[in-house]
Structure 1
Amino acid sequence: MENLIQVSSEVGTLRRLLIHSPDSGLGKVVPSKAQDWLFEDIVHLDTMRRQEYDFYVKTLLYFLDPDKIKGKLATINADNDRNFFKPDNPEYFNSDKVIELQKLLSDILENDLVRMKLVAAACAIEKEWYTTHDELFNLPPIELAKTLISGSTPSGEMLFPPIPNFIFTRDIGITINNHILLNRPKKQARTREALLVQYIFFNHPIFDAVRKNLIEIPDNETLFLLPEYEANEAQTTLEGGDVMMVAKNHLLIGISERTTVNAAKQVIKILFEKKIVDKITLVKIPNKRDYMHIDTVFTQVKRNVWVLLGSLAKPQLKAEDEVLIKAGLLPSKKAEQVHIVQFRRGQADEPREIASLEELLTEISIYDLGCQPLDVKFIYSGNNEFPYGAREQWTDSCNLLAVKEGVVIGYDRNDKTLEAFKEMGFETIKMEDLLNDFESGKRSPETIQNTFIMLPSAELSRARGGSHCMSMPILRSEL
Structure 2
Amino acid sequence: MMAGPINVKSEIGKLKAVILKRPGKEVENITPDTMPRLLFDDIPYLPIAQKEHDNFATVLKQNGTEVLYLDDLAAESLNDAAVRQEFLQRIIAESGFKKGKTAEVLQNYLNSFDSLTMVQRIMEGVRKEDIQLKSIGLKEASEDGDYPFLMDPMPNLYFTRDPAAAIGEGVSINRMTFAARRRESLFMEYIIAHHERFANQGVHVWRNRNHDTRIEGGDELVLNNHVLAIGVSQRTSAEAIQDIAGNLFKNASGYDTVVAIKIPHNHAMMHLDTVFTMINYDQFTVHPAILTKDGQVDSWILHPAKDGISIEHHRDLKQVLKTVLDLDDLDLIPTGNGDPIVAPREQWNDGSNTLAIAPGEVVTYNRNYVSNEILRKHGLKVHEILSSELSRGRGGPRCMSMPIVREDLKK
TMscore range, shorter length = 0.7 to 0.9
- Counterpart in the other structure of 1:237: 214
Equivalent residue in structure 2 for 1:205, among 169, 186, 196 = 196
- Aligned: 1:131 with 2:105: yes
Question: For the residues of structure 1 that align with 2:304 and 2:92, how far apart are their CA atoms?
Answer: 42
* Matched AA of 1:208: A
Equivalent residue in structure 2 for 1:362, among 322, 325, 331 = 322
Give the C-alpha shift of residue 149 in structure 1: 1.3
Question: For the residues of structure 2 that align with 1:136 and 1:415, how far apart are their CA atoms?
Answer: 45
* Aligned pairs for 1:43-62 within 5 A: 43-50=44-51, 52-62=52-62
- Aligned: 1:257 with 2:231: no
Runs of 4+ in 1 over 4 A off after TM superposition: 155-159, 209-212, 217-220
Question: For the residues of structure 2 that align with 1:302 and 1:364, how far apart are their CA atoms?
Answer: 15
Gaps of at least 5 residues in structure 2 are 132-148
- Counterpart in the other structure of 2:140: none
- Counterpart in the other structure of 1:290: 268
Identity of aligned residues (%): 28
* Matched AA of 2:217: G
**Matched positions, count:** 382
Question: For the residues of structure 2 that align with 1:295 and 1:389, how far apart are their CA atoms?
Answer: 15
TM-score under structure 2 length normalisation: 0.88
Equivalent residue in structure 2 for 1:186, among 156, 165, 177 = 177
Query: What does the per-residue CA deviation read over 1:152-175, in whole Å, with 9 as the maximum and x for residues that have no partner?
Result: 48x966652110111111112111
Contact 1:272 1:345 in 2 (8 A): yes
- Aligned: 1:424 with 2:402: no
Contact 1:400 1:468 in 2 (8 A): yes
Question: For the residues of structure 2 that align with 1:166 and 1:248, how far apart are their CA atoms?
Answer: 28
Contact 1:109 1:145 in 2 (8 A): no
Distance 1:364 1:63, change over 3 A: farther
- Counterpart in the other structure of 2:404: 474
Query: What does the per-residue CA deviation read over 1:214-250, in whole Å, with 9 as the maximum and x for residues that have no partner?
Result: 2334766xxxxxxxxxxxxxx4000011111101111
Greater fraction of residues in helix: 1
Gaps of at least 5 residues in structure 1 are 66-96, 221-234, 319-335, 426-449
SS at match of 1:197: helix
Give the C-alpha shift of residue 358 in structure 1: 2.7
SS at match of 1:117: helix
* Matched AA of 1:6: N
TM-score under structure 1 length normalisation: 0.76
Distance 1:386 1:404, change over 3 A: same
Contact 1:3 1:208 in 2 (8 A): no
* Matched AA of 1:250: V
SS at match of 1:341: strand
Structure of greater Rg: 1
Question: For the residues of structure 2 that align with 1:12 and 1:209, how far apart are their CA atoms?
Answer: 25
- Aligned: 1:98 with 2:67: yes
Query: What does the per-residue CA deviation read over 1:61-113, in whole Å, with 9 as the maximum and x for residues that have no partner?
Result: 11225xxxxxxxxxxxxxxxxxxxxxxxxxxxxxxx21101111111222211
SS at match of 2:161: helix
- Aligned: 1:39 with 2:40: yes
Give the C-alpha shift of residue 418 in structure 1: 2.1
